Amino acid sequence: MGGLAGAATAASAADTQVTDASPNFVFHTVNDNRDNTFNQLLGINNSGTIAGYFGSGEKGHPNMGYVVRPQYGQGNFTNENFPGAAQTQVIGINNNGDTAGFWVDGKGANHGFYGLKGHPLKSVDFPTNDNAKPKVDQLLAINDHDQAVGFYTDARGTNHGWSYDIARHQFKTVNVPGDTNVTAAGINNEHDIAGFADNGGGTTEGFLLRSDHKLYRLNVPGSSATMAFGVNDGDEVVGAYTVGTGDNAESHGFIWSPGFGYQNVDDPNGVGATTLNGVNDRGTIVGFYTDSAGNTDGLLAKAAN
């Protein structure tokens, strides 16, 4: 078992401001009609196939995973749920159609899983005895080399990032120097990892940890917290940042890439309540927003030109 860490790289001048890129996108709401009150779109590959789930997890609304190509309508939602699970979230999908996510057992424990196309879903947890009770172990992304990333929570409630090479059955920890509570949330085909962690000042910051060990710390200017959730092969990172705290807190989507700085992206039906979770190499983005009725809706954003 090895580890991954990196040396920090200074932010560029472009990282000191935020521009609004929302007008550059056309937004579509994509929901599985089996539960229009709660949908999240979490990963997208280059062919436009999306990983997600419906159901809030509350009584009568369990998380139910799916993959979908939305251009073909409601008939194209395909169920993907771990056998015997009480709940399932499908979070990552690669260009081969392989998926990753987590499932919840009858005792409330979370377990990571991966699904190689044409094969049964397989459960996988980071090998440690220092687990939260109930266990929290999740996979959040998978690349075309079938390397998946995620996190587990220890007995003290601290998250630890990890990666898993499916072919080699090899685990590695993902560490951010000076930070704790690490979540590895995205991985691209260059083996660059995006995620978020708590910095030494007690603030949640996003990160991009490249395979050459360069580390970019992501803090959207003016935010109280920044979380990176997805990354494509061009190191374009998507995520969400929080402005304000408590009842006044707002969540906005963002895009960032080295040298280009931060761009705000909000669904027009969920301004101040938008999260971006996945991006493919064509710059198409998926995520979710909260609408005026309080429902959580799946978000698909494509470049306007």
In the numeric block, which tokens belong to residue 12?
């560029």
Instruction: Flag whether pLDDT at 131 surpasses 80.
Output: yes
Read off the pTM.
0.95
pLDDT at res. 57: 97
Q: What is the DSSP letter of 72?
A: G
Domain containing 174 equals: 2-303
Q: Which residues pair with 278 in a beta bridge?
A: 286
Q: Which amino acid is at 114?
A: Y
Q: Tell me the average pLDDT across 13-26.
A: 88
Instruction: Flag whether pLDDT at 10 surpasses 60.
Output: no
pLDDT at res. 74: 82
Instruction: Flag whether pLDDT at 6 surpasses 80.
Output: no
Q: Give the count of domains, the chain.
A: 1
Higher-pLDDT residue of 101 and 75 is 101
Confidence category of residue 70, pLDDT binned at 50, 70, 90: confident
From CA 214, how far away is CA 92, in angstroms rounded? 24
What CATH code is carried by the domain that includes residue 264? 2.120.10.30
Residue the block writes with tokens 């007995």: 155
- Could you read off the pLDDT of 76-97 as tens digits, one per residue? 999 999 999 999 999 999 999 9
pLDDT at res. 221: 96
Residue 42, phi-psi category: left (phi > 0), alpha (psi -120 to 50), beta (remainder): alpha
3-state secondary structure of 122: strand
| CB within 8 Å of 290: residues ≥ 6 apart | 270, 273, 296, 297
Q: Tell me the average pLDDT across 209-228.
A: 97
Phi first, then psi, for residue 71 (nearest 5°) are: -65, -15
Q: How far apart are the first and last CA of the chain?
A: 46
Among candidate residues 242, 141, 129, the one with its CA nearest the CA of residue 192: 141
Higher-pLDDT residue of 73 and 55 is 55
